[in-house]
Every structure is written in structure tokens, then in C-alpha cells.
């Protein structure tokens, strides 16, 4: 049994990871400032004696005692990371420095939740880890993309300079239960719009592609990566290689929900990547892992989750219209 810190543990992926680590017998310390996460995501874990929750912003130093650190804290949806871009960069960069400093003091193993966004709007397709990417350094997505790229640099420099045991996962679009209702990401947006019979907001002509990974597959990959020997550092792509256009996704969601929604075109956001698909060869070889949930099955589970949530009648803050920062 390990003592494991999960930063961003009250978020979408973090809450699933905390759940999985607890189920595998570990002690879990969840650290979150509730910027985009919420207590509801982890309420089922609060009664476990092996689970502890700490409200904390990782841009400030943290002094705790753990054996492993999963650094997931960072808003992941474009609407949210662009809302307070300076805080986004601080979370990625200062947050990484603080968590790496903690790992160095404890000699703890540390995993970074990096992203396919380090490849930017890629000219190489699918994206292998050797590809250095095509990122706009001064655009509206840069706070996230460059923040995550700098965090990767810090991880590898802490390894070279301080012999730290690091793991870097480049996560591709992940979806599933506990995404925020007003999260702004495509899967949650389309499902919520379809269930409410509201227009489906398709940005651009919908020909841009993504490859969607169900959250259970992703957290299984993260756990496997953490368990690899010290010489396996990554970066490793984690995701699902089944690629689909955003237009096809809209059609699938409408069919699976039986919705009366119609598609409404909206302008394509600035620097929106045209295509994205992980090359998973390295991950498969290093982890003996592959995603197993087909898109239709994962979408059905996600639809069931949002259906129950919307039926509960609770109100949801519109995170994209916040007037306060946190």
C-alpha cells in the first residue's frame, strides 16, 4: 500500500483515478482548489478511511508526506483554461515546480498529466511522441499548451539534474461521467444539448477530427505508467486511436440519445487543431496496455450519467460566465 497524492483529484479524471487507487488498497490524498472540480465528484470517497481531501492551490508550496504523486491539477477545457490564462500557466509551471520540489524532498515518484496539446495543430498524423509539435506560442490556447510544454521540460530537467523518478503521460481527449455539465468540451456539450433537445453547437464545418478515450481506460493507463521501472519516463501517449470527425460525433450523440436536436454551426475557435490521433505503439509496448471501450459503449455510459444528473433537477453554475476567478 502506498500513500498517493493526486492533485486535481476532485476533477473529472482525478476523481476516477482516486477511486481506482483506493480500490487497489492505497491511501489517497486528494488536493484540489475546486477551480473546475467539485466535491460531488468525490463525495462517494469521503467516507473511506484511506481517503483525505485537502483544499489547496498547487501554485503555492505544499508540505505533505507521500510515496507517489499524480499531478493532474489544471483546468483542461478550453473555455476554462482561457478564462484566467495567467492562472493556467501558473498552475502548470509553478504547480509543476512545487510538486517536483515536493517529490525531490520525499524522493517520491511523480507523474505529470501532460496533453496531446503539446503537439498543437499537428502536421504529422497520427502523432508519435518523437514529434515536437506545432504550437502557437502567443495564441489563446498557448497558456495551456506552452504551460504543459514547460511542465514537461521541468520534469525532464528534474530527472537530469536531481535524478528524480518521473513519468510523463500525454493524454488525448478523454470523456466520461463526471465531466462538468457546463464544461464546454465537445462530448459533454453535445450530450447535454441532445438530452435537453437544444441545438447541437458544431464549431466550424465539423470536419476537424479527434480520437476519444473512455475515462476508465485512461486511468488504467496512468496507473500502469506509474508502476513501470524508473527508466520508463515517457513521454507516452495515452488515449484511443479511433478517430472521428466532430460532425460524426454530433450525429452519433443525436442517434444514441434519440434527440430532436438539430445541428447549429458556430465559428471555429482560434487555433482549433484540425486533426488529432495518438500513435499508441510506445504505450502498448511499455505498458502492455490498450484502450478497450468502444466509443459507442463509452458514450452510452456517459449519456446515462448526464441523463440522471439532469433529471436530479439541481442547478449547475455556468463556469464560462464566472465573474470571480475562483
Applying CB under 6 A, which residues contact ligand UDP?
77-78, 173, 185-186, 189, 201-203, 208, 210, 246, 268-269, 272
Q: Which residues pair with 265 in a beta bridge?
A: 202
Q: How far apart are CA 80 and CA 88, in angstroms?
A: 9
We find the least distance from the C-beta atom of residue 234 to ligand UDP, in angstroms, to be 20
32 binds ligand NAD (CB under 6 A): yes
We find the least distance from the C-beta atom of residue 237 to ligand UDP, in angstroms, to be 14
Q: How far apart are CA 155 and CA 166, in angstroms?
A: 7
Q: How far apart are CA 65 and CA 318, in angstroms?
A: 36
Give me the phi and psi of 149, to 5 degrees please. Answer: -65, -45
Report yes or no: 113 and 72 within 8 Å, Cβ to Cβ: yes
33 binds ligand NAD (CB under 6 A): yes
58 binds ligand NAD (CB under 6 A): yes
Report yes or no: 113 and 225 within 8 Å, Cβ to Cβ: no
We find the least distance from the C-beta atom of residue 87 to ligand NAD, in angstroms, to be 7
We find the least distance from the C-beta atom of residue 247 to ligand UDP, in angstroms, to be 8
Report yes or no: 112 and 235 within 8 Å, Cβ to Cβ: no
13 binds ligand NAD (CB under 6 A): yes
Active-site residue among 70, 81, 119, 144?
144
# binding residues, ligand NAD (CB under 6 A)? 28
Q: Give the cell for residue 158.
A: 528534474
Of ligand UDP, ligand NAD, none, which one does residue 201 interact with (CB within 5 to 8 Å by kind)?
ligand UDP
Of ligand UDP, ligand NAD, none, which one does residue 72 interact with (CB within 5 to 8 Å by kind)?
ligand NAD
Contacts 24+ apart (CB under 8 A), 127-135: 127/237, 127/276, 127/277, 127/278, 127/279, 128/237, 128/279, 128/281, 128/282, 129/170, 129/234, 129/235, 129/236, 129/237, 129/279, 129/282
Sign of the C-alpha dihedral computed for residues 192, 196, 197 and 202 taken in this order: negative
Q: How far apart are CA 2 and CA 18, in angstroms?
A: 13
The binding track of 102-141 with respect to ligand NAD, each residue x by CB under 6 A or -, is -----------x-x--------------------------
The rounded Cα 248 to chain-centroid distance in angstroms is: 22
206 binds ligand NAD (CB under 6 A): no
Q: Cβ atoms within 10 A of the Cβ of 157, count?
A: 13
Compare residues 17 and 259 and give the one whose CB is closer to ligand NAD.
17
> In this chain, which of 91, 182, 211, 302 binds ligand NAD, going by CB under 6 A?
91
Compare residues 28 and 74 and give the one whose CB is closer to ligand NAD.
74
Report yes or no: 245 and 180 within 8 Å, Cβ to Cβ: no
14 binds ligand NAD (CB under 6 A): yes
In the residue annotation, 144 being an active-site residue is answered as yes
Of ligand NAD, ligand UDP, none, which one does residue 122 interact with (CB within 5 to 8 Å by kind)?
none
We find the least distance from the C-beta atom of residue 299 to ligand UDP, in angstroms, to be 14
Compare residues 13 and 66 and give the one whose CB is closer to ligand NAD.
13
The binding track of 162-181 with respect to ligand NAD, each residue x by CB under 6 A or -, is ---------x-xx-------
Of ligand NAD, ligand UDP, none, which one does residue 240 interact with (CB within 5 to 8 Å by kind)?
none
Q: Integer distance in angstroms from the first to the last C-alpha of the chain?
A: 34
- Catalytic residues, which ones? 144
Enumerate binding residues for ligand NAD (CB under 6 A): 7-8, 10-14, 32-37, 57-59, 72-76, 91, 95, 113, 115, 171, 173-174
Amino acid at each position: 500500500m502506498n500513500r498517493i497524492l493526486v492533485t486535481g483529484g476532485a476533477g473529472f479524471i482525478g476523481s476516477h483515478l482516486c477511486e481506482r487507487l483506493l480500490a487497489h488498497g492505497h491511501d489517497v490524498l486528494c488536493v484540489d482548489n475546486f477551480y473546475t472540480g467539485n466535491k460531488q465528484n468525490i463525495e462517494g470517497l469521503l467516507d473511506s478511511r484511506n481517503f483525505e481531501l485537502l483544499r489547496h492551490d498547487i501554485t503555492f508550496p505544499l508540505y505533505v508526506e507521500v510515496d507517489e504523486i499524480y499531478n493532474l491539477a489544471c483546468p483542461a477545457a478550453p473555455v476554462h483554461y482561457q478564462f484566467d490564462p495567467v492562472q493556467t500557466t501558473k498552475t502548470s509551471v509553478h504547480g509543476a515546480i512545487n510538486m517536483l520540489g515536493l517529490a525531490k524532498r520525499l524522493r517520491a515518484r511523480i507523474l505529470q498529466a501532460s496533453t496531446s496539446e503539446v503537439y498543437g495543430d499537428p502536421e504529422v498524423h497520427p502523432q508519435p511522441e518523437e514529434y515536437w509539435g506545432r504550437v502557437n506560442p502567443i495564441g489563446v490556447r498557448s497558456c495551456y499548451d506552452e504551460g504543459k510544454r514547460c511542465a514537461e521540460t521541468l520534469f525532464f530537467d528534474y530527472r537530469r539534474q536531481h535524478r528524480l523518478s518521473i513519468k510523463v503521460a500525454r493524454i488525448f481527449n478523454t470523456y466520461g461521467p463526471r465531466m462538468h455539465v457546463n464544461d464546454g468540451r465537445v462530448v459533454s456539450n453535445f450530450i447535454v444539448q441532445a438530452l435537453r433537445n437544444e441545438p447541437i453547437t458544431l464549431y466550424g464545418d465539423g470536419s476537424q477530427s479527434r480520437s476519444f478515450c473512455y475515462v476508465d481506460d485512461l486511468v488504467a493507463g496512468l496507473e500502469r505508467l506509474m508502476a513501470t521501472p524508473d527508466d520508463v519516463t515517457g513521454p507516452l501517449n495515452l488515449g484511443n486511436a479511433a478517430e472521428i470527425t466532430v460532425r460524426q460525433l454530433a450525429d452519433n450523440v443525436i442517434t444514441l440519445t434519440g434527440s430532436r436536436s438539430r445541428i447549429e454551426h458556430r465559428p471555429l475557435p482560434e487555433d482549433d487543431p484540425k486533426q488529432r490521433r495518438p500513435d499508441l505503439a510506445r504505450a502498448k509496448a511499455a505498458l502492455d496496455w490498450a484502450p478497450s471501450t468502444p466509443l459507442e459503449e463509452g458514450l452510452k455510459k456517459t449519456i446515462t450519467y448526464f441523463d440522471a444528473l439532469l433529471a436530479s433537477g439541481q442547478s449547475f453554475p455556468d463556469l464560462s460566465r464566472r465573474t470571480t476567478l475562483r
